[in-house]
Structure 1
Amino acid sequence: MLRFIIPIVLVFILELYTFFSIRTLTANKFILIGFWVFTVLVYGVFFYQMSIAQREGRFSLSLGYAIAMLLTLTVPKLFILAILFIEDIFRFFTGLFNYFQHSGMSATEALPGRRKFISQLALGIAAIPFAGFLYGVFKGRYDFRVIKHTMFFDDLPAAFDGYTLTQISDIHAGSFDNKEKVAYAVDLINEQQSDVILFTGDIVNAVAEEMHPWIDTFKRLEAKDGKYSVLGNHDYGFYAYETKAEILENHKKIEQVHKDIGFNLLLNDKKTIERNGEKLHILGVENWGASGHFPKKGSLKKATENVVDGEFNVLLSHDPSHFDYKEMQFPKNKEGKEVIRPTDVVDESNIINFEKKIQLTLAGHTHGMQFGIEIPFLNFKWSPVKYRYPRWAGLYEEAGKYLHVNRGFGVLAFPGRVGIWPEITVIELKKREKVA
């Protein structure tokens, strides 16, 4: 019971402080009453949509917009709360001083009133994240950015010097609502004219049918050496279905979606691209990561069968925690027993320590939380997701092996992006020249 009471009290305090700031600026009863009516309406819509999502086991656009409305109105109020709370600390000590300094003064008389300027300042500062969230919902979610990297490798076959890869990830088709913007992004991918297109999972939010309206758009993707893909945690149907039969049926439909688009779906498998007698392997594993809530079906051993040591490998693995995975963590029930999802668990080494060298791993999954700050010319990036996934966006290197984490193509839950924009990654592979 306490876990429900505390959040309710905190939310009430947040809304109360916002009300105080508005009341300092106006005594209009229609505005003040309207504030509470609108606030109750926003929370009501959110909890109603949440109840539908829990019953159906899937994310919907309606839930997304309910989340967007709640966040757009709630996050700015945190700034109001912080500023007015600091003012209240000063008001408290000033009132305490006045009470003891002036005998006969009541506590109410001693406490100074809330200053109009501070309320104006709080509302003005809150307007910045408010505008940011509005931009993120209406513009940011489709503000596609092409990010290019040139990577040098000692062991890259000479025939693949200058070879280009375009990576996209986390399409989440169930969250799309604008065919023109999605078609623009597909054209933007084709404009890169990369040798190969690689998709690193989460084509839907939960069910295969979400992708059906978008198949004709994505099947227009073109690359001369093909299009390759893997599954993400959302592609297994666990969020929407409970029975094994339903999950397997959805899985078959997902596989068909990949075929209809023209993706070569790699389920712990590989495809080899040859040029002038030299090879580059595209490896693809099923989902594998640190969280016990997601299916763990990835097998590096199966994907690298018949791969000879010294050959060049590019791996598609949805979850970046696979790269330096340390220990299996499964959720526990009330009795303290581990709860394992209804899926096969493959216990293998992480990518860094795997017996065969995988030069480049491409992942997604994090979305950069769709919220954060990036200043490219200062090489600065921050998002709250970094505290869950230390390797959450961009390029990382360890032990001579590289990981690239794509920020995602689509959105999930919150239908917007603030500071972390949808990404199309272009990577050029270059052979490092030996120094004489």
Structure 2
Amino acid sequence: KKIEYAIDLINQQKSDVLLFTGDMVNNMTTEMEPWADLFSTLDAKDGKFSVLGNHDYGDYIPWETEELKSKNLEDLKALQKQMGFDLLLNEHRYLKKGEDKIALVGVENWGKGGFKKAGDLKKAASQINENDFKILMSHDPSHWEMEVIKDAYHYHLTLSGHTHGMQFGIEIPGWIKWSPVKWRYPYWAGIYKEMGQFLNVNRGFGFLGYPGRVGIWPEITVITLRKKALT
């Protein structure tokens, strides 16, 4: 019932697009299969887009063969398509309204430390224009820190997740935002700005490990883009 409530809440926003930034499962595609019909009801007039997170590759459990592990990932890709998501694998799409357009760029997981580095920003952006307004979907915010903000292209907005705010912390809007995850990820929740570029880190929708949260609520982020006033 709580998941149904959240799906309904998303649809009530009547968003132009829905962007899912990875970790649809913890380890196996079968975890998502019972929820596929419900998630298929997510609706946005200009599309639903997704990227892969580190957990989607099945790297954290043993597999009898590499073929089974590979099939698990292919099954997840197929399931996302079945649910209506356009999965961006180091590629882009253009969101268009009349003569205006936004370049939506999606990379596979790229994370510092021991996390998978399948993301290829150059490949993903190889067919867009340098002057396009760009939204980048990249699961791990360390990618923004390590590569994106230093890239020759200017990525106006990057959307990430990954940290969950460690599902533990203290947040009082306007007063305090703290979690021990900050010692690993300096950009761990909410909006950040560096070098004229914005990052939003979603606090996550579900959980990993501990089946709950203390002080860090599950989150649906609603973002409204507005054109800068000309001066």
Question: What TM-score do the two structures reach when normalised by structure 2?
Answer: 0.97
Aligned with 2:32: secondary structure? helix
Q: Tell me the equivalent position of 2:72.
A: 250
2:163 equivalent among 359, 366, 377: 366
Aligned residues, how many? 230
Deviation at 1:421, TM superposition (A): 0.3
1:217 equivalent among 11, 15, 38: 38
Q: Tell me the equivalent position of 2:102.
A: 280
Question: Is the counterpart of residue 199 in structure 1 residue 20 in structure 2?
Answer: yes
Identical pairs, percent: 55
Q: Tell me the equivalent position of 1:3.
A: none
Partner Cα separation in structure 1 for residue 117 and residue 69 of structure 2: 15
Q: How does 1:8-407 map to 2 (within 5 A)?
A: 180-242=1-63, 243-292=65-114, 294-325=115-146, 350-378=147-175, 380-407=176-203
Aligned with 1:396: secondary structure? strand
1:333-387 deviation per Cα after TM superposition (whole angstroms, max 9, x unaligned): xxxxxxxxxxxxxxxxx00111211110000000001111001032x10001111
Q: CA RMSD in A?
A: 0.9
1:229-267 deviation per Cα after TM superposition (whole angstroms, max 9, x unaligned): 000000001112344222211110110111121110000
Deviation at 1:189, TM superposition (A): 0.2
Partner Cα separation in structure 2 for residue 263 and residue 251 of structure 1: 15
Partner Cα separation in structure 1 for residue 82 and residue 23 of structure 2: 16
Question: What TM-score do the two structures reach when normalised by structure 1?
Answer: 0.52
Deviation at 1:291, TM superposition (A): 2.1
Question: Is the counterpart of residue 413 in structure 1 residue 191 in structure 2?
Answer: no
Partner Cα separation in structure 2 for residue 387 and residue 287 of structure 1: 21
Q: Tell me the equivalent position of 1:157.
A: none
Partner Cα separation in structure 2 for residue 189 and residue 302 of structure 1: 31
Tell me which of the two structures has the higher relative contact order, counting C-alpha pairs closer than 8 angstroms and 6 or more residues apart. Answer: 1
1:28-56 deviation per Cα after TM superposition (whole angstroms, max 9, x unaligned): xxxxxxxxxxxxxxxxxxxxxxxxxxxxx
Q: Which runs of 5+ in 2 are unaligned?
A: none
* 2:105 partner letter: L
Deviation at 1:434, TM superposition (A): 2.0
Query: Which structure: greater helix fraction?
Result: 1
Q: Which runs of 5+ in 1 are unaligned?
A: 1-179, 326-349
Deviation beyond 6 Å, 4+ runs, structure 1: none
Q: Tell me the equivalent position of 2:227.
A: 431
